[in-house]
Amino acid sequence: MQPKKEVQHVYLVGAKSLGAYGGYETFVYKLTEHHRDNQNIKYHVACKANGDGAMDETKFEGVTEINDHEFELHNAHCFKINVPQIGAAQAIYYDVAALKACCEHIQKNNIPHPIVYIMACRIGPFAGHYYRKIHKLGGTVYLNPDGHEWMRAKWSAPVRKYWKISEQMMVKYCDLAICDSVNIEKYIHKCYDGKGIRGKNPKTTFIAYGADLTLSKLANDDKKLVNWYKEKDLTPKNYYLVVGRFVPENSFEVMIREFMKSHSRKDFAIITNVNDKFLNQLEEKLHFKSDKRIKFVGTVYDQELLKKIRENAYAYFHGHTVGGTNPSLIEALGSTDLNLLVDVVFNREVAEDCALYWSRDDGDLAKLIDQADELNADEITKLGQKAKKRVAQEYTWDKICGQYEKVFMEADKKR
């Protein structure tokens, strides 16, 4: 009789909640959902208790309340962290407080050989202290270095400098960096080889991001969908679409400016959580409110509805210039036939020849929009089929979650 296999405890730090708009939030939801019946892995997930993007477990089915700050979802133990509203610093506070809570839980429950998986490089100055603590408790630290946080336009120069130094410190001390893009993995080695602990190269592996390829359950005549179109003054296959966070590095200014320059008779539907300050800046620059085709249509959290809106779009814009394997891009490739992507290495890596590309140069995207409007149905269908095949081969959640299971369980073999 074989001895019972030890359960691998994995602590996930860095997502605000499970299943919200962000990439890490979707990742944590899908990973825990996929492994909900896996007897070999037990997840512990840090969630924000308050503020922007806070976890609201009452919106989910199958939640088991433990107490006012702990619950179970997908058989994962979730614990909530209260965060003071201290501006940009709250993200750092949140990760540090979550790591502290992980260490306390590991110690209190005598968890053997835990893995603490930190998403994003926000807490560099505190990394050494907590990494040493986790190692003393018999654990290992895995890191997802995200995609060039220090390049994001929303940060001031001093903050960008902090993110860059923070990244360096976190990569240096981690036991394994899991990169969700081949180009991010190359970047980590280019910048940090020879700069790990005792001058070693950082240890890395590549695991991409996943997408759900199943079609929406909603029919074209579903009342929910029909009412949404009526309310937003849109018609199926007659709108360009973008879904994403409303931040400068996602090229909203370029996409709106260029759409206004184009001769398209279609609409441009923008699904995002609008930031009034940024919105007012764009209106001052572009005066887009005078163009009836530009439509900010709010947020859509109903996943079946959002999937159907993607499927019914004439084309999808992807303007993300910073990051690795971007979730919204993979979701678009899996559901929208015609995709127009800003030409950066991360997007080329994912979509290859399944999409059309544009630069941020003046007039380039407007010209591509006019060309896209002239494509025939057969050309669009071929691009869509190619995109779906690419996603099915490389970016399914089945594949990604299987790779994570292998990486987590291999830690057990190395002990």
In this structure, is residue 145 part of a structural domain?
Answer: yes
What is the share, in percent, of the chain residues with pLDDT greater than 70?
93
How many domains would you assign to the chain?
A: 2
Q: Are residues 97 and 199 in the same domain?
A: yes
Q: Are residues 401 and 376 in the same domain?
A: no
Q: What are the phi and psi torsion angles at 117 (to 5°)? A: -105, 110
Q: Are residues 305 and 406 in the same domain?
A: no
Q: Are residues 187 and 70 in the same domain?
A: yes
Q: Are residues 95 and 232 in the same domain?
A: no
Q: Are residues 236 and 153 in the same domain?
A: no
Q: Which domain does 56 fall in, by range?
A: 8-210+397-413
Kindly report, residue by residue over 305-329, the tens digit of the pLDDT. 999 999 999 999 999 887 667 778 9
Kindly report, residue by residue over 170-191, the tens digit of the pLDDT. 998 899 999 988 888 998 998 8
Low-confidence winner among 21-25, 123-127, 243-247 (lowest mean pLDDT): 21-25
In this structure, is residue 3 part of a structural domain?
Answer: no
Residue 3 has pLDDT above 80, yes or no: no
In this structure, is residue 2 part of a structural domain?
Answer: no
In this structure, is residue 141 part of a structural domain?
Answer: yes
pLDDT of the residue at 153: 60
Amino acid (1-letter code) at residue 384: G
In this structure, is residue 100 part of a structural domain?
Answer: yes
Q: Are residues 151 and 163 in the same domain?
A: yes
Q: Give the β-pairing of 267-271 and 239-243.
A: parallel
CATH, residue 42: 3.40.50.2000
Q: Are residues 232 and 188 in the same domain?
A: no
Q: Are residues 358 and 244 in the same domain?
A: yes
Prediction pTM value: 0.83
In this structure, is residue 215 part of a structural domain?
Answer: no
Q: Are residues 405 and 387 in the same domain?
A: no
Low-confidence winner among 210-214, 235-239, 373-377 (lowest mean pLDDT): 210-214
In this structure, is residue 66 part of a structural domain?
Answer: yes
192 is written with which tokens?
């940090």
Is 133 within 8 Å of 114 (Cβ atoms)? no
Q: Are residues 149 and 268 in the same domain?
A: no
- pLDDT band at residue 196 using 50, 70 and 90 as cut-offs: low
Residue 12 has pLDDT above 90, yes or no: yes
pLDDT of the residue at 1: 44
Residue 198 has pLDDT above 90, yes or no: no
In this structure, is residue 1 part of a structural domain?
Answer: no
How is the beta sheet containing 64-67 ordered, strand by strand?
Answer: 64-67, 70-73, 76-81, 41-48, 8-13, 115-119, 140-144, 176-179, 204-206
Q: Are residues 83 and 197 in the same domain?
A: yes
pLDDT of the residue at 318: 96
